[in-house]
Structure 1
Amino acid sequence: MPVILGIESSCDETSASVCVDGNILSNIIANQTIHAAYGGVVPELASRVHQQNIIPAVQQAIINAKVSKNDIDAVAFTRGPGLLGSLLVGVSFAKSFALAKNLPLIEVNHMQAHILAHFIGDHKPKFPFLCLTVSGGHTQIVLVKDYFDMEIIGQTLDDAAGEALDKTSKILGLPYPGGPLIDKYARLGNANAYAFPEPNIPGFDFSFSGLKTAILYFIRDNVAADPQFLEKNMPDICASVEQRVVTILLNKLKKVAEKYNITQLALAGGVSANTGLRQGLTNLCESKGWESFIPKFEYCTDNAAMIAIAGYYKYLNNEFVGQDVAPLARMPF
């Protein structure tokens, strides 16, 4: 009955989790509000706040799980990808904790961990399945053949879907973080009010740079004609933008599912918390007679529970690393 301590610090959430025999008993997430004043994550500030948060987060995770430090069998940590300074805090803490307690270390790929979050709880997909992994930095369609046998079938050629939503929120003058606000406004608007273009990208890859440019010009021209345009039409704009991002994502996912004859489709990553995307995947699967898998909200954004569950499966395979391990801002999938 292995007890795994998971550490996540790839961006601006400091998180710690305890997994016992494949069951998540705690998942502490410390958010950083300092970045709101700058309209985005400031890497140097993020790493400094991680230093302040990591010990309290780990301590609380252990307390909530009702275990002791002496019960822990291994320490799993995010090695990458992510912000190097942020990763360094988590990796350094994991190495120190493991060294002090003479425990093995388990490195985890952040993006693979998002996918493995689907193995938390009872409703688990069966191999093989497709996972649409969408965040502020990544947009990928992954064929998941086993816990650590994954193949990227399609990915963004430029910007990520989450980044497109974040940039749109800035253009609209919404405070950071803007993605949840776009989602909130979209629930009140008409998704067919405005037509934004869908890029014609061959194959299964994505592109969101053209959509961002189209949104920028659309808002610039309409605000020039009517300075109150945004104030009067915010819900409809957000709903229309969100719908276009969702259709771009799901149209590609549908094509991949049909080509590979996969009937189990999953969402992962921070943007999987978006209401429109969650409902869109549900509707797609219902129309095709497929099965959908959508994680709980707490496992969508960056969190240590997904690191701990990934670490659990690596522990079963005796996949450990040494104390010479270093963080990787760009980590091979």
Structure 2
Amino acid sequence: MKRRFLLLVLLAGMTLPARAQSGVDVTKLLANTKTFIFDNNKNTVKGYIYAILEEQTACCGSDRIYLEVKIDPSGYVLKVSSLTGKNDCFKQAAADIVKNIRWDASDFRGPKSVYFEIKPEIECVEGRDNGYVALEIFNNEKLNPAGMQVAGGDPQPANPVTPPATEPEPATPQPNPVASQPEPQTQPEPEPQQIASAEPEPSRGQPEPEPMPQPTTPRPQTTRPQTTGVPGFMPTRPVTNPQAAPDAEIEEARRRAEAERIAREEEIRKLREEMQRLREQEEKQREARLAEERRRQEEAQQEQAENMVAQASEGG
């Protein structure tokens, strides 16, 4: 008896939060796409999903499901996809529940997807066999009660479930038929065709058109130079008279001549300076040689005098 009482208390403690969430009126409240809290600031989207799963489905067990919810700018859900999860009952029922939630899409410029994870956990007791029964869609203007789209193209199933992939049966090998070689076909030789003349024959009874006269281009006339009447004499270029030259040319010639004269005088001056330097250098060298010769002569004379004095002292 005590065990049953404790079990009932435990079950009540687990289901009370979920049942409290089921009192949410989704026809009047909007859910925030970032915080996943309804605009009454009391209930959460996940708590509402857990409560409906507990009250209105036969799903049980535990699972982790990552949901992708595509929302219209009006706030209604267009599509719900389960990206993860193993329990099909939880995945399909959660999709039905989310389609009845309207979202605050005031900042949307077009359809947009939001993502969040739910972790349902319900004990598998008598009457819970994970048998999925579709829930009614009652709060969505974009979907009909069966969960199919009513606007924007052909209706699509609300909760598409991918059937398990079946392995294909191995194909029975069949013998390859021997391909028969086709018999060579003889093509008939083409009949020679008459080559049509490129120019059509003039029809009889019609006069031939007269050829159009072509315009003639006048030939340029060459003018021969005039001669003086003397045979073998050709005119030469006129000789320019220097006196008839413009004043500017005369002034330019004078300036060039003056520049050349100054340049020659500068060269002569440099040559004279170089010659003077060489003379002075030679004079210094000559004086040095003379001084050296005088020094040697004086040393020789002094040595000779010393020898004579020495000889005189020895003879006395």
By percentage of residues, which structure has more helix? 1
Q: Indicate whether the TM-score tops 0.5.
A: no
Question: RCO greater where, 1 or 2, for CA within 8 Å and sep 6 or more?
Answer: 1
> Which has more radius of gyration?
2
TM-score range, shorter chain: under 0.3
Q: Which structure has the highest strand share of the two?
A: 1
TM-score (structure 1 length as normaliser) = 0.19
